[in-house]
Structure 1
Amino acid sequence: MMLYLDNAATTLKKPLSVYATLFKSTLFSGGNAGRGGHKMSMDAVRAIVDTQDLIAQLFNIKKAENVVFTQNATYALNTAILGTMSNGGHIVVTEMDHNSVLRPACLSGNYTVVRADKSGYVHAEDVEKAVRKDTKLIVCTHASNVCGTIQPVYAIGRIAKKHKIPFLMDVAQTAGSIKIDAEKMNADMIAFSGHKGLMGPLGTGGLYVKSPEELAPLVTGGTGSNSESVSQPEFMPDKFHSGTMNTPAIKALGAGVKYVMKYGVDVIGKHEKMLSEKFKENLMNMDNVTIYGNDNSVATVAFNVANLGSEEVFEMLKGKAAVRAGYHCAPLAHRAIGTSDRGAVRASFGVFNSKNDVAKMTDYVYKISKNVSG
C-alpha cells in the first residue's frame, strides 16, 4: 500500500465515526435544513447547530451561531476578505499566505504583502509597519502550508486590536493539532478547513465571524427564513447560509471534531510533531538534501534533493509515497524560502501516521539522494 504523507492537503484516513455518521445521515436522514417544519428538516437544523457548538467549544468562540459552514477554507477566506473590502480600503497580507488569501486580496487592488524571512517566518513588527490609515483588514495564516512555519498570530492579533483593525486568521493547517483560542488570539474572523486536521469529509470548512454586522455576504439567496422578504437576513448564521447546506458532511465534520476533542489537540499535535521532527533529523544526515522552514512548525516538512526539480523527485516517489511537489498554491512563500525556481517536495504527517512511515519515507529519500551523489 502506498505511503500517505499528504495530510496538509487532506487527511486520507478519517475516524470510523466520521464514515458512520456520513453514511447514516445520507441513508436514513436527508432532510433539508430549514426547508420545512417536519422532523427530518428540523433534525438537519439540529445537526448543523450541534456542529457549530463543537467548533465554538474547540476554538473558544463565545457565540456558536457566529460559526458558518462553507464548502472549504478557500470559500471562507473569500467571504471574509471580499466581504470586508466590499467598500474599498487597504488590506495587509503576508508572503506566507495561500492563494486563497492572495488572489481575493489582489482583487481588492489595494494591498500590502509583508515579507517573511528565509525560514518562512513573518515578524509581527513588519506587519505593524504595513498598517495604514485606510487599512481595513489584516490577514495571516497560522502556519505555512508549504514549510509548516508557525506565525506569531498572538502578536499580530494584539497589533490588530491596538489599531482597531479586524484580524482574519487562516487555520487550515493548524486546526486539530494546535490549540486555537479566538479570544486570546484577538481573532475577529477564523477561516478553517474541515477535511484536514478536523477529520471531516472533503468539501467542508467554515468561517467564524465575531462581528457579522460588519461583513457583507458573498452569496445571497434562499435561507429558509424571512422568505417573505427579498432582502438577505441579517441574523446568524442565516446571513451566510444561502442555499441547501451539505448537512450530512457537516454532521460528519462534527464527528471528526468530537474525535479531536476526545483524544486532545495537544496529544494529536505532539504525535504528528514527533514524526515530522524524526523525519527532519533523518534528512539532515543525508548529503544533497535541503530542508526549509524552522523548528517552530506543524508536522509539514518541505525539502529538495540536490539540484533536482521537486517534480522530478515526486516522479521518483510515485507509487511509493503520496506527497506533494511544486508550489502548493503559495508562490510568494516559495519566494521567501528561496525555492521559486523549482518549488519543493512536501511531506506532511497526520495522526494516523506512524514511526514506520517515517522509516519508509526516509529510505525512499535516501536512495534518491544516494543515486544523485553517486
Structure 2
Amino acid sequence: MIYLDNAATSLKKPQGVIDAVVSAIQHSGNAGRGSSETALQASRTIFQARQALNQLINGHDPRQIVFTHNATESLNTVIKGIFNKGDHVISTVMEHNSVLRPLYELEEKGVELTLLSINDTGTIDPEAVNNAIQANTKGMVITHASNVTGDINPIKKISHLLHQHQLLCIVDASQTIGSIPIDVRDLDVDILCFTGHKGLLGPQGTGGIYIRPGISIQPLKSGGTGIDTFSHHQPIDYPSRLEAGTLNSHGIAGLYAGVSYLLDFGVDKIRDYERELLNFFYQELITIPSIKIYGHFDSNVDRCAILSINIGNIDSAIIVEELIDRAEIITRGGGHCAPLMHEALGTREQGVVRFSLSHYTSKEDLLTAVKCLKDIPKDLN
C-alpha cells in the first residue's frame, strides 16, 4: 500500500507512539483522581505532553495547553466559548466545517459573521481582513493552511493587523502543526487549535488548544476535574477550566511520544523534505495534459504537502477508486469537509483528488502514482 492521505490522518506512526499507548493502557490510571502510583503516572505523562507541545510551538506556559479529543472539539470550545450575541466574527471560505458549522450555529443566535474569499494566490489578503473589521468585531477564526489546496495563509501579517484593533486571532493549525514549524510568539496568535493524529503523529482522539495568557474562554463542558470538588462552578484556571471529565491519557501518552519524536527529528527537516517531495511530484504532474492542479506552487513559499487534482471531467471518487485498484494508492476525493473552498475553486460537483504526503513518503511512491495518473485518462476514455 502507498499511503498518500496524511491530511486525513497520519497512518505510519513512530514505534515510540505505539509503545507509549500500549504501556499507558497497561499501567496508567486516571490523572488527578487519587494519589496512587497509577494515577500519578498518568498525571506526569499528561504534564510532560503539555511541556513538549509548549516547547514545540514556543508557547508561554505549559498550563496554557488544554487537551481535547480532536481539533473539532478544540474549535467548538473556542468559538462557542468566546463569541456571543451581538459580536462580529471574521472567518474565511477556506475553513473546514469544524469552523463553519459552529459559526453558523452562532449566527442563528445573533452573532454576525463575515466570510472572506481567497485572492489570486488562493489565500486571504490581510487588506480584506482590515476592510471587514467593524465596531463590534471581536476576532477572527482562520485556518493556517487549506486542507484542500495546502496553501498557507499569511498569519503573522493578519495577526498584527488584528492586534492593532485589539481583536483576537484564532488559528486552526490542523494541517500544519508537526509539518510546518510554528512559533506562536513569532506569529503572535492568541489561540491555536490543533489535532494530534495528523502531523503530530499521535493517536486519533487527541487534540488541544494553546491559549495566550489572559484570554478567557467559557467552558464547553463542565464536570469533574479532580480539583475544587465542592465548588458549584468549573475551575477558573487553565487547563482544568476546559478539561472536564477523564482525559484520554492513553492517547495523550502516544501524543507525547509523537511530539518527542518531532522535537528530536526536527520539524524544519520534515518541512524541507516534504517540500522537496511536493515539488518533485508537481513537476511530474504538470507534464500530463489532462490533469488540473489546484493551489499555488512556488518553491520559495511554505505550503503544506498537499497536492489536489482533477482529470478532465471525471468524478474525483472514480479516480480515487482507480488508484486503489491499480496500485493500492490511498488518497481522498470529494469535498473534504470544506464546502466553501470547493465553491471558490469551482469543484462543488466534481470534488478533487487530494494527495497528502508525509516524511515517510518516497519518490518511488510518487512515481507509481504518476504512472497511474498517466494511464487512467487513456483507459477511461
TM-score between both structures, scaled by the size of structure 2: 0.95
What one-letter code is carried by the residue in structure 2 that aligns with 1:322? I
Contact persistence 2:273–2:359 (CA under 8 A): yes
Relative to structure 1, the CA distance from residue 146 to residue 90 in structure 2 (aligned partners, 3 Å threshold; closer, same or farther) is: same
Contact persistence 2:329–2:369 (CA under 8 A): yes
What one-letter code is carried by the residue in structure 2 that aligns with 1:76? S
Report matched runs for 1:1-374 at 5 Å.
Answer: 2-27=1-26, 29-86=27-84, 88-109=86-107, 110-117=112-119, 119-211=121-213, 213-295=215-297, 296=301, 297-319=303-325, 320-372=328-380
Range with greater deviation from structure 2 (222-231 or 334-343): 334-343
Equivalent-residue separation in structure 2 for 1:244 and 1:122 (angstroms): 38
Offset at residue 88 of structure 1 (A) = 4.1
2:83 is paired with a residue whose SS is helix
Range with greater deviation from structure 2 (271-280 or 200-209): 271-280
What one-letter code is carried by the residue in structure 2 that aligns with 1:92? I
Contact persistence 1:120–1:336 (CA under 8 A): no
Instruction: Report the count of equivalent residues.
Output: 371
Relative to structure 1, the CA distance from residue 94 to residue 213 in structure 2 (aligned partners, 3 Å threshold; closer, same or farther) is: closer
Contact persistence 1:289–1:369 (CA under 8 A): no
Equivalent-residue separation in structure 1 for 2:140 and 2:231 (angstroms): 34
Contact persistence 1:91–1:137 (CA under 8 A): yes
What one-letter code is carried by the residue in structure 1 that aligns with 2:322? M
Contact persistence 1:84–1:137 (CA under 8 A): no
1:325 is paired with a residue whose SS is coil
1:194-225, Cα deviation, whole Å (9 max, x unpaired): 11011101111100111465210111111010
1:26-70, Cα deviation, whole Å (9 max, x unpaired): 11x131011112221122111111100011001110111010011
Offset at residue 118 of structure 1 (A) = 5.2
What one-letter code is carried by the residue in structure 2 that aligns with 1:363? K
Contact persistence 1:118–1:293 (CA under 8 A): no
2:333 is paired with a residue whose SS is strand
Equivalent-residue separation in structure 1 for 2:290 and 2:249 (angstroms): 49
Equivalent-residue separation in structure 1 for 2:214 and 2:356 (angstroms): 34
2:210 is paired with a residue whose SS is strand
Relative to structure 1, the CA distance from residue 347 to residue 68 in structure 2 (aligned partners, 3 Å threshold; closer, same or farther) is: same
Offset at residue 156 of structure 1 (A) = 0.7
What one-letter code is carried by the residue in structure 2 that aligns with 1:327? G
Unaligned ranges ≥5, structure 1: none
1:156 is paired with a residue whose SS is helix
Equivalent-residue separation in structure 1 for 2:215 and 2:367 (angstroms): 51
Contact persistence 1:292–1:301 (CA under 8 A): yes
1:346 is paired with a residue whose SS is strand
What one-letter code is carried by the residue in structure 2 that aligns with 1:77? L
Aligned alpha-carbon RMSD (Å): 1.3
Equivalent-residue separation in structure 2 for 1:246 and 1:6 (angstroms): 25
1:305-356, Cα deviation, whole Å (9 max, x unpaired): 0111111212212342110000000011112222123110000001111111
Offset at residue 92 of structure 1 (A) = 0.5
Identity of aligned residues (%): 39
Equivalent-residue separation in structure 2 for 1:55 and 1:87 (angstroms): 33
Relative to structure 1, the CA distance from residue 118 to residue 342 in structure 2 (aligned partners, 3 Å threshold; closer, same or farther) is: farther
1:183 is paired with a residue whose SS is helix
Equivalent-residue separation in structure 2 for 1:213 and 1:202 (angstroms): 28
Contact persistence 2:60–2:213 (CA under 8 A): no
Equivalent-residue separation in structure 2 for 1:197 and 1:307 (angstroms): 32
What one-letter code is carried by the residue in structure 2 that aligns with 1:364? C
What one-letter code is carried by the residue in structure 1 that aligns with 2:203? P
Offset at residue 284 of structure 1 (A) = 0.5
Relative to structure 1, the CA distance from residue 324 to residue 370 in structure 2 (aligned partners, 3 Å threshold; closer, same or farther) is: same
Equivalent-residue separation in structure 2 for 1:22 and 1:285 (angstroms): 44
Equivalent-residue separation in structure 2 for 1:337 and 1:118 (angstroms): 11
What one-letter code is carried by the residue in structure 1 that aligns with 2:171? M
What one-letter code is carried by the residue in structure 1 that aligns with 2:122? G
What one-letter code is carried by the residue in structure 2 that aligns with 1:239? R
Contact persistence 1:119–1:337 (CA under 8 A): no
Equivalent-residue separation in structure 1 for 2:214 and 2:22 (angstroms): 33
Contact persistence 2:9–2:198 (CA under 8 A): yes
Range with greater deviation from structure 2 (87-96 or 281-290): 87-96
Equivalent-residue separation in structure 1 for 2:115 and 2:189 (angstroms): 20
Relative to structure 1, the CA distance from residue 178 to residue 213 in structure 2 (aligned partners, 3 Å threshold; closer, same or farther) is: closer
Equivalent-residue separation in structure 2 for 1:81 and 1:264 (angstroms): 31
Equivalent-residue separation in structure 2 for 1:22 and 1:176 (angstroms): 19
Equivalent-residue separation in structure 2 for 1:261 and 1:25 (angstroms): 21
